Chain A
């Protein structure tokens, strides 16, 4: 068993993305006074003694008093990001009813949370508890906000970075807060505990954890006053396998070397290599979004050269369909609401993305083109991104998520609850977008017919929403940047973004592409990289990122690497060691075809193309430029909703609606029965029934039927009232409605 600390240490050396497990968050904010022994000399303070109690009791969460309206008129800042406002809210607002200095016990501030008066939030603090006493004392002592020399909270620790535990083990975590003046105190009772994966380990309010029955690794994240700590728990598998079981495993490339190492640590053996027919379908669906033609399947299966998989991958990467299939991944992330920015803008951006993929543009250049764009929204695709996302803060949220795989959004309003990002980090990043100028009529929904021009407009600035301070340019985790005068800050951002100093960029894209091709990323969701959400195989992620950079940010090269690895080519059937594996890729994870792929494949196998509104005849769903083009099938299988503020989610879950649609839609029946469709052609051909069956299997499933399947299928032609036409329809219907068709497996 490789201890997870190994990976953590590696990460620490490689980048500052994965800080050591017990790490320090040096972000401004609350100062605190250790309430050490003998503290009775010093009056209690709001910042160091009261706020932690409110946080622990849940008062300053958005479900309670930190929701935008407050609760019954009493409002607190979320995660206590604004202690001054909270103090005012408690001590000064409510016409002083909340605090009764003369008789502290009569303060609403004490009566409500202890349920001595009706409180919708129920009892949060028990009368006579230590917390209750502290609050009472604080009132009695005159409600000090903060002492002049109160030491700053520096970091918290939760003990070991990695704890080896057994299945079912119970234990306790202890949390210590360390202050800038060298003092420390135990804050276990005031800290907040969250388990990363509840099915692996659960943790209660007091830091007591209970390990479940699975082996593997799982994180517990601890928060205290804006500081975050993490401890990894590790349950070794029941029996590790001897090293020689791994030594003999075939290695196609470095991906396999890393994966094998990881499996050896975790006790998994990989599934078998998938069959050629599974591979030919899998690779075509993943790389070009469509089924291989029957001719291609036949020629691939009859080819006996040892290199044929590699050749096939190379052929797929050279296909024109590759561009549309992969452009869609970016379309999902960038496509705005046409009712907001106008259809022309949406179209221009769509075409720009597709063209970039047709050229296989270097990915660093692709990012730079977007980040630094100037010019017309009707000529220059990326300008549309700046038409849609207008405020620097909105651009910060989307650009960091898209290009860095990091969700900064939380830090827009408060300290990120699970990561080191502060509001300051957020707005320093936003400052890069402070000099974006726009000319023209702007957005005027629903038409937004006129173009807008994006340009560099010197002199803009971004301020911190609480302190009001003008924010310098500083990338997340990086150092402050001084700009030559006259230079667009976005140029500096692009420089940093694609530079080796940025630990996020290459990892984010590698993780994203891996996630699409493998059914899940090393980090999931693929754009939620943070210390408290560690990658399942950090060494492999790093190696892929390094390889990607070394090969000139070439996406096709990256995809070729992945598709040619043994890992990619494993069967989806588990063996006796790896049924539990859902994140180390020792078997292939089945994934449903996406909506557009489903639509195109149904069109291909029935031989009847769709007609999409506003698209030329024969256009494929993967080529549609607008998520609002009507299609019941695309709706059933889930497209991003570009009416949403963040349309970036693509849902690959199944649903009853999908099953109902594939089984009973007039749409599919019409395609099956179409006079010019595949069924009609086969039915009216000279082919024998068995040959029709073979042709349909090759077309719909990418493989030959076996004997039993052929005989079952041929029976359909003998049904009473069956004709060649209806039997062929029924057969194709049955194949389209099978799991083998709906899933890439």
Chain B
């Protein structure tokens, strides 16, 4: 058994079985798993798991768990840091006072405090938490690597294009390991760049260029239809690629001429009070845009919000960096809930790892994969729940410990993708979608 697959305390899965901790620490049994799959659909309200969409808020850099969901007020000053704690909507549960908005809606989501792995590098951690698979070789912090398809690419692969819309979008850029790998370029995220907080923001390519009126666009399309006269070879066995080309164009045209879809892309049609609630900043409006995209039928939207690598002056840094996240993530969950969309939308916020328990001499916290907090809401994830715990310093996950593979298996199960799926690389080699993880039972109520 390779080192990479060891649990956080250095014990392998097999050791857990020997210790008799099998079901608690190393996953759940088969019959439970089968049950969970059935439940996934049920729990997602009316939505079948295949219709559940996902908004993944990717906090690149490794967000601190101490100053968010797992404060340790009893720990010494050099561990607990500058911030205090506040009560949440869950009786007896405190968050850092850095996240007041989230604390006030904690009755709507679950936080897992005990996910951990062993890769302290950004490159490797990104890969592990964005794909559910560790890198096969160690990679350094600066690495942007892809050895395995990302969650979004897999969902795109499983579902394909719906209503002319790419199934996987990423705002405002692709996360490091957010690519499709062997699934192919058509499952790369569709990048929606730009700042939706700016006046006149438009989602690229799915709406007309500003200079082109609808009437002109129609006239262009008619001209195109009359001039595109290359003979199509309709016999299926001829494998003429222009046949597929025509269907892609038709889907694109359907999208551009659908009033519903076009309205979804127009963030400016959102009432001011809603835009204010998400926050008039890039992240807030991106979260809102993500919600609108999901409404329009996009299966998986990644909201990238980096800058969490607080090796220095973490408290000053967080005072600026945390409020937009606190506000917009709380708003997103609340908004989805009010619209009745939370049961069919899985919201996840996480980064590649947590941060060191002890504050370093530059006033920062360093990389720490031995414990991290992950927020999940919607799609049947129980409301108002804390799963697992870390030790007294917030250093090591200590209860209900889960791996990135367990996390990945949970995510896929919620989205109706079988985590046991075997995919095939281009050379024909079979690859497990998730290697050995089990859905986290607490997420399935």
Which residues of A are interface residues toward B (Cβ below 8 A)? 61-63, 67-69, 73, 118-120, 214, 337, 339-340, 407, 409-410, 417-418, 443-447, 525, 528, 572-574, 579-580, 582, 589-592, 632, 635, 638-639, 641, 643-646, 649, 651, 653-661, 663-666, 669, 673, 709, 712-713, 716, 719, 721, 726, 730-731, 733-735, 737-740, 742-743, 745
Contacts and interface: CB of A to CB of B under 8 A. Distances in A.
Interface stretch (B70-78, B105-113, B181-189, B297-305): B181-189
Given A69-B5, A738-B227, A645 B205 contact: no
Nearest to A391: B137
Please give me the 7 A-B residue pairs with the lowest Cβ-Cβ distance, nearest first: A446-B142, A638-B185, A669-B209, A734-B224, A738-B228, A659-B252, A445-B142
A446 B185 contact: no
Contact of B186 (A573, A651, A745): A651
B220 A445 contact: no
A738 B229 CA distance: 8
B426 A664 contact: no
A745 B205 contact: no
A335 to B, nearest CB: 14
B239 interface: yes
Contacts of A118: 29-31
Contacts of B212: 669
Contacts of A73: 13-14, 17
B432 A63 contact: yes
B248 A658 contact: yes
A559 to B, nearest CB: 23
A76 to B, nearest CB: 14
Contacts of B226: 712
B219 interface: yes
A655 B208 CA distance: 18
29 contacts: A62-B432, A67-B432, A68-B5, A118-B31, A337-B144, A340-B143, A443-B140, A444-B140, A574-B235, A579-B235, A589-B239, A590-B242, A592-B245, A645-B145, A649-B184, A651-B185, A654-B248, A656-B165, A661-B205, A663-B253, A665-B205, A669-B211, A709-B229, A716-B223, A719-B219, A733-B220, A733-B224, A734-B227, A738-B224
B205 A664 contact: yes
B216 interface: yes
B166 interface: yes
B19 interface: no
A483 B2 CA distance: 36
Interface of B: 1-2, 5, 13-14, 17, 29-31, 33, 123, 136, 139-147, 161, 164-166, 176-177, 179-182, 184-186, 188, 190-191, 204-212, 215-216, 219-220, 223-224, 226-233, 235, 237-242, 244-246, 248-249, 251-253, 255-256, 420, 422, 426-432, 435-436
Contacts of B232: 739
A712 B228 CA distance: 11
A740 to B, nearest CB: 4
B245 A654 contact: yes
Nearest to A693: B227
B224 A445 contact: no
A653 B31 contact: no
Contacts of B240: 590
A120 B426 CA distance: 27
A61 B212 CA distance: 56
A582 B185 contact: no
Contacts of B231: 573
Nearest to B193: A632
Contacts of B180: 641
B204 A410 contact: no
A742 B88 CA distance: 57
A119 B29 CA distance: 10
Nearest to A661: B205
A591 B241 contact: yes
Contacts of B177: 643
Nearest to A397: B427
Contacts of B209: 664-666, 669
Contacts of B164: 656, 660
A730 B241 CA distance: 25
B245 A734 contact: no
B7 to A, nearest CB: 12
B151 to A, nearest CB: 16
A659 B141 contact: no
Contacts of A638: 185-186
B255 to A, nearest CB: 7
Nearest to B173: A630
Contacts of A62: 422, 429-432
B252 A726 contact: no
A654 B241 contact: yes
Nearest to A595: B185
Given A337-B145, A733-B220, A743-B241, A659 B13 contact: no
Contacts of A660: 164, 205-206, 252, 255
A582 B238 contact: yes
Contact of B147 (A572, A589, A635, A644): A644
Contacts of A525: 426
B223 A651 contact: no
Contact of B207 (A641, A664, A713, A726): A664
Nearest to A75: B1
Contacts of A661: 205
Given A447-B142, A592-B241, A656-B164, A579 B233 contact: yes
Contact of A644 (B13, B33, B146, B190): B146
User: B227, B228, B256: which has the most chain A beta carbons within 10 Å?
Assistant: B227
Given A62-B432, A632-B191, A737-B249, A657 B211 contact: no
A590 B255 CA distance: 27
A445 B139 contact: yes
Given A69-B435, A410-B427, A579-B233, A657 B205 contact: yes
A573 B436 contact: no
B218 to A, nearest CB: 10
Contacts of A409: 427, 429
A56 B374 CA distance: 42
A644 B220 CA distance: 39
Given A644-B146, A658-B248, A713 B191 contact: no
B351 to A, nearest CB: 18
B292 to A, nearest CB: 17
B228 to A, nearest CB: 4
Nearest to A519: B241
Nearest to B18: A95
Given A635-B188, A660-B206, A445 B141 contact: yes
